[in-house]
Structure 1
Amino acid sequence: MQTSQLLLEGVEIMLFGMGSVFVFLVLLIYCIRLMSFLTARFVSEPAATPAPIRAASAVDADADTLAAIKAAIHLHRARRA
């Protein structure tokens, strides 16, 4: 085989491969859209939302916990400097 024939065959194989990947991706997109449509149509009840978690405020923490936090912050800043 000549170089030009090999080059043309390589381009042909490349186009076939890129075309098959493109077709697969388009098919995948349509399958995902179909699944989304079916899910929205048949699952009409909303999901139960969990109760919001109340964040602990500084008032809830006792004095010992606050002192330990302050000491840890001070120690961290002292080591970093």
Structure 2
Amino acid sequence: MTPSQLLLEGVDLMLMGMGSVFFFLALLILAIRLMARLLERIVPAAPVRASASPAPAKAVVPQPDADVLAAIQLAIHQHRARRG
């Protein structure tokens, strides 16, 4: 076979493979949409109830101890001193 014939067969094979993948994906999308419509008919959507629950309270963040704050400040100071 000549190089041009090999190239044409390669392109043909590529188009055939890409076409089959495109067809399969389109078929898959169609099947998913059909199943979604079928499920909508079988199981109707549940009505949304307005909840009377109050808004969530803000979370209380505990403050660190004085010893912890001092250790953090010392670590920051040492880090900055090393960097110059």
TM-score, length-scaled by structure 1? 0.65
How do 1:2-81 and structure 2 match up within 5 A? 2-44=2-44, 46=46, 55-57=56-58, 69-71=62-64, 75=69, 78=73
Q: Provide the aligned length of Structure 1 versus Structure 2.
A: 71
The percentage of counterpart residues that share the same residue type is: 45
Corresponding residue of 2:80: none
- The 2-side partners of 1:34 and 1:27 are apart by 11
Q: Which structure has the bigger radius of gyration?
A: 2
Runs of 4+ in 1 over 3 A off after TM superposition: 51-58, 74-81
C-alpha separation between the residues in 1 aligned to 2:48 and 2:14?
50
* RMSD value, Cα: 3.3
**Structure 2: stretches of 5+ with no match in the other structure:** 78-84
CA–CA separation in structure 2 for the residues paired with 1:6 and 1:57: 70
CA gap of 1:23–1:80, structure 2 versus 1, over 3 A, is farther
Separation in 1 of the partners of 2:76 and 2:34?
55
Q: Gaps spanning 5+ residues in structure 1: where?
A: none
CA deviations on 1:44-80 (whole Å, 9 max, x unpaired) are: 151887x76973556xx7xxxx6xx1016x7496456
